Copies of this chain bind each other. A is one copy, B any other.
C-alpha cells in the first residue's frame, strides 16, 4: 500500500505509526548512529500489535501474566524505545530517547535487559531473541500447568528480521518450538528483502514459509503496512494452536525517497535533509521528539488498555490459597526455595559419610536429586546427552505438549537453542533452568551463554566430559581452552568441583546466585572423595580453600581443580615423603576466590612457597594465581595441556601429557 492511500484510509493509525517512525528517525539522527530503517518499516505492525493484541499494562510492566514482547531484530531498538515511551512505561521519558546511545541512558544501541522496564531480553546478536522467546513460551506453559490458566495465560511475540532467520540458531529454535507445539509463540517476520550487504536474495533463496512449515509451524503472510491486513493475520495467528510465523511484507525505511528498500536505510542516520522530506511525506509537521497531544493521548490510552485485565488477574491471583500465592510470588521473583538449604545440608552429611568414588557428573545427578525435590521450579534438560550428562533425576517427567507438568526437556542436538531457551525461561521467571551438553560444545552455545552473563540471569550449564579425561572420543570432544574461555567471560561462575561434596556445594551456589549464570565443569571419570569432614559451611563459595595442609615447614603449594585435585593430593604424598612440606589448595571457582578479601586470599596463597597449578587444560589465566601477591614466576610452575588432546583411554592420556603426581612432584623439586 502506498503512503497516500494508507494515510487516507487509516488516518488515526497512520499518525500513531508515524509517531514511532519520526522518533526513530530523530533518535538516530541525534545520536548520529543507529538503525532507522527497521522501525520505519515495522511501525505499522508494532502499532497494531500494541493497540489490538499485546496484553500489557504500561504502568505495571512487571505484571507476571503480561504478554512478552521480544525485539529479536535488536538493532531496531528505537522501535521498542518509542513504544515504551509512547505507551507510558515508567522511566522512559522523552529525554531517554533524546539520549539514545549515550553513556548512562537506558536507551542503549541495542536493547539491554535491566536498563528499562519493558525490555524483556537483551537482543542484537541476531537470532537470540527468537530463540530466547522459545524459552519464554516454554516457561509459560510450564507455569500454566503448575498454577492454572487463570493465573498464567499469555503469549510471546517476537519481531525478527532476515538476519535472525539466517542465523543457525533460528533453526534450533524453530525445531524446538515446532516439536513443543508452542501455540502461544508468534513470530512477526520483518520481510523486507534487505540485508546489510544488499538484497536478501544475494545470499539466500530460502522459502521461509516452507521452512517453518516443515517444522510444524503455522505460516501466514500480510501486508505489513496495511493495519487491517496485519490485524487479520495477528488474529489468525492467535487462533492457531501451533507456533505461528507471520511474514509481514514491509519496506525498510518506509517513506524515505532516497533510502526506502535499500541497505542504506539499515544502519545510518537518514540525514537532516532526508528527514525533512520524509516528515512531509508522512504529513508530520512537528519538531524532533515532539508528539502532538492528540496522538500522545491515543498512545497513552493504548498503554492503559490492559489495566482492567491486569486488575482482574490480581483478583484471580488473590483467590488462590495464601500458600499457593506465596509460592507463585517466590518463584516469579526468583527467590530460592526455603527447602534448599536443609536438603543440601542433609545430603552433604550423607556424602561425607559415604565418601563415594564417582564421576562429578554422577555427583551432579545425586545433587540434582535433592535439589529438584526441594525446588519445584527447576526445569532440566540436555542437548541429546541425557545419559552422559546425568541431568535427569527420578520423577521429573518429560516436558512436552502432552505433559506440561514435566520438568525435563529433550532439547535435541541443539546446544545453542537450548542455552537461549534457558535464558528465556530464566527471564520469564518462575523457572530455574539447567541444561547439559559436553563441555567442548560450549563452543556451539557461546552466543547464548554470553547473553546469560551480560543479562545476569540464572541459567545453569551442566558441562560434563570436561577434559582429556573423557578419553577415546579424542580431541574434537576434549576441551582444553574452554575453562579459560568461560573464566574470561565477565559475570560467569565457572565451577570445577573435585568430588561429590564440592559438586553439591557448587550446585548450591549456582542455585542461590540470582544474577549470574553458572557453569559446572564435570568429569566423565570417577574421582575419589576428597572432602572427608562434614562442614556446614559451603567451601566452594569461597572459590578456593586449603584442602590439605603442609606437614612441617610449608615449602610448596599445589593448586588444582576438579579431577586434578586427586593428582595434587598424590603429589603432596610424594613430596611429604621426601620431607617437603606441601599444601594443597582446591580451587573450584576462580571468580569466587577473586571476590574474597585480600586477607583470605593471602591466607590461602601465602607469598613464600613454590606454587604449582595442575589443571588438564591450557595455562592461560593461571599466571594470575601463580604470581599473585608474591615473588618470581621462577618459583611457579604449571602442569597441564599445551595443545589439543588425543584419542586414547583417559589414564594413558594423563600419562602421555604428563599430568601426573610424579610430574608435579618433579616440577616442585626443580623449582625449589
Contacts from A to B (Cβ < 8 Å): 31, 33-34, 74, 101-105, 108-110, 112, 122-126, 162-163, 166-172, 175-176, 178-179, 195-198, 201-208, 210-211, 213-216, 382, 384-388, 398, 410-417, 440-441, 443-444, 446-447, 450-451, 453-454, 471-477, 480-481, 484-485, 487-491, 618-621, 623-624, 626-634, 636, 642-644, 646-649, 652-653, 656
Q: Is the CB of A112 within 8 A of B484?
A: no
Closest chain B residue to A202 by CB distance? B410
Which of B168, B440, B647 is the one whose CB lies under 8 Å from A109? Answer: B647
Residues of chain B contacted by A112 (CB below 8 angstroms): 474-476, 647
Shortest C-beta distance, A483 to chain B (Å), equals 8
Q: Please, which residues of chain B bring their CB within 8 A of the CB of A451?
A: 476
Given B31, B204, B444, B473, which contacts A175 in the complex, CB threshold below 8 Å? B204
Q: B31 contacts A472, CB within 8 Å?
A: yes
User: With the chains together, A74 CA to B480 CA distance in Å?
Assistant: 20
Output the nearest chain B residue to A476 by Cβ-Cβ distance: B124
Are A34 and B472 in touch, CB under 8 angstroms? yes
A169 contact set on B, CB distance < 8 A: 168, 444
Whole-angstrom CA separation of A649 from B472 in the bound complex: 50
Task: Let me know if B444 and A197 touch, CB within 8 A.
Answer: no
Contact call A620/B206, Cβ cutoff below 8 A: no
Known interface pairs A125-B476, A168-B167; A412-B623 also in contact (CB < 8 Å)? no
Since A197-B382, A205-B215, A450-B481 are in contact, a sample of 12 more A-B pairs with Cβ atoms closer than 8 Å, ordered by chain A residue number, is: A101-B647, A103-B652, A110-B473, A110-B476, A124-B476, A166-B172, A168-B444, A175-B206, A195-B412, A205-B216, A490-B644, A630-B633
CB contacts (< 8 Å) of A179 on chain B: these are: 201, 203-205
Most buried by B among A203, A472, A627: A203
Across the interface, which residues of B come within 8 angstroms of A398, CB to CB?
Answer: 202
Chain B's nearest CB lies how many Å from the CB of A474? 4
Contact, CB under 8 Å: A477 / B124: yes
Which of B214, B623, B632 meets A211, CB within 8 Å?
B214
User: Given A175-B166, A490-B642, A633-B629, is A213 in contact with B210 using a C-beta cutoff of 8 Å?
Assistant: yes
Would you call B471 and A33 a contact (CB within 8 A)? yes
- Kindly state the separation between the CA atoms of A618 and B618 in the bound complex, as whole angstroms: 17
Smallest Cβ-Cβ distance to A122: which chain B residue: B476
- Could you tell me if B488 and A484 are in contact, using CB atoms closer than 8 angstroms? yes
Give the complex CA separation of A646 and B473 in angstroms: 41
Decide: A412 and B166 in contact? CB cutoff 8 A. Answer: yes
Q: Tell whether A210 pairs with B203 under 8 Å between CB atoms, given A109-B474, A171-B171, A633-B627.
A: no
Q: Assess the B633–A632 pair: CB atoms within 8 A.
A: no
Nearest-CB distance from A600 to chain B (Å)? 17
Q: How far is the CB of A253 from chain B (nearest CB, A)?
A: 17
Asked if B485 and A481 sit within 8 Å, CB to CB, the answer is yes
Q: Which residues of B contact A214 (CB under 8 A)?
A: 206-208, 210-211, 214
Closest CB in chain B relative to A320 CB, distance in Å: 34
When C-beta atoms are compared, the residue in chain B nearest to A632 turns out to be: B631
Query: Which of B450, B488, B644, B656 lies in contact with A103, CB distance below 8 A?
Result: B656
Which are the 9 A-B pairs with shortest beta-carbon distances? A168-B168, A203-B412, A124-B476, A108-B647, A171-B171, A103-B648, A484-B488, A623-B623, A210-B214
CB distance from A181 to the nearest CB of B (A): 9
A-B contact pairs, 9 of them (CB 8 A): A101-B472, A108-B647, A443-B447, A488-B488, A490-B644, A620-B620, A620-B621, A627-B636, A631-B632
A510 to B167 alpha-carbon distance, docked (Å): 28
B-side contacts of A171, CB under 8 Å: 168, 170-171
A411 and B167 CA atoms in complex are apart in Å by 11
Please tell me which one of the listed residues B195, B413, B623 contacts residue A162 in the complex, with CB atoms under 8 A apart: B413
* Cβ-defined contact, A167 with B414, below 8 A: yes
Complexed CA–CA distance, A629 and B266 (Å): 51
Closest to A210 in B: B214
Query: Which chain B residues border A633 with CB–CB below 8 Å?
Result: 627-630
A102 touches B623 (CB 8 A): no
Contact residue among B195, B206, B472, B489 (Cβ-Cβ distance under 8 Å from A481): B489
* Contact indicator A410/B444 (Cβ below 8 Å): no
Chain B hits for A125, CB < 8 A: 440-441, 443-444, 476-477
